[in-house]
Amino acid sequence: MPKIEHCPRSRLIVGVVSLMIALLPRMAIGQSAAIDPEAEKLLKASTACLAGQKRFSVATRSTIEIVLASGQKLQFDHAAILSVQRPNKLKAERRGDLVDQVFTFNGKTLTLYNPSEKYYAQVAAPGTLEEMLDFARESLDIIAPGGDLIYKNAFEILMQDVTSGFVVGKGVVEGARCDHLAFRSPGVDWQIWIQEGKRPLPRKLVITSTDVAGGPQFAVVMTKWDLAPKFAEGAFDFTPPQGAKKIVFLPVGDPQAR
């Protein structure tokens, strides 16, 4: 491997890292072991804004890191479109390096469909979004995309076990000026960027696993919000395509689910 002084790319990396380190002392001044009331206020306003939306859709792109036994990190990218109609309808279409899946809930039935392999599974689910999300997590070990932010009590869920939080400063995500917040809880550090203005929507979320070697991260950027989408009749219903094969969900605790 070439030495740093002979590798332009390495010099660039060192320069960027040096610049970041130079900024850290100034940023760290605003950090404390307590929860900044201003950070709490901004997060509460954002979650209340989203909870108040009767229907919305959002396009996202995300990156997840996986740490190998050697300590080397790998990144995998995904794109998704999430559609929600309160109180009991949700559809998430995800596609990327590790997943090709459609998650659908019509108020009665939860369906997961894999278009590339034409497999789907269905199960009766409780009647509200919050009840369905709890059921999916606790009984099926399935986490719906953006699930924590969909709950009407998202603020309480996000702040559970949080030990510190502060306002990092201002940032820009997808052209939108945002308030950048950082929080810490046991095993997890997380950051959220919230759009300024009358509609303080979340625009970016970064989660760092601090109890895992290498500190892998999950990052999602909300690239486009629509707070007045028009959903077609039956948009949240699932009709199996021709040739699709039905399989069953394995409940949590089933040895075959491992």
User: pLDDT tens digits for 77-118?
Assistant: 999 999 999 999 999 999 999 999 999 999 999 999 999 999
**If we measure between CA atoms, which residue out of 82, 52, 79, 87 comes closest to residue 63?**
79
What is the spatial distance between Cα 122 and Cα 164, in angstroms, rounded to a whole number? 40
Q: Considering the domain boundaries, does residue 202 fall inside one?
A: no
**Residue 221, in any domain of the structure:** yes
Q: Average pLDDT over the chain, rounded to whole? A: 88
Interval 154-189: pLDDT, tens: 999 999 999 999 999 999 999 999 999 999 999 999
The pLDDT value given to residue 212:
93
Whole-angstrom distance, CA of residue 47 vs CA of residue 159: 11
117, part of any domain: yes
Amino acid occupying residue 256: Q
Task: Give dist(CA 196, CA 178) in Å, integer.
Answer: 5
CATH number at residue 243: 2.50.20.10
- Residue 68's pLDDT band, with cuts at 50, 70 and 90, is very high
The residue segments making up the domain with residue 68 are: 31-164+217-250
Q: 6 in a domain, yes or no?
A: no
In-domain check, residue 21: no
| Single-letter code of the amino acid located at 32 | S
Instruction: Answer yes or no: is 108 within a domain.
Output: yes
Name residue, tokens 């100034």.
26
Instruction: Give the count of domains, the chain.
Output: 1
* Distance of alpha carbon 212 from alpha carbon 226, whole angstroms: 36
Residue 19 has pLDDT above 60, yes or no: no
Q: List beta partners, residue 173.
A: 176
Q: Does some domain include residue 20?
A: no
- pTM (2 decimals)? 0.86
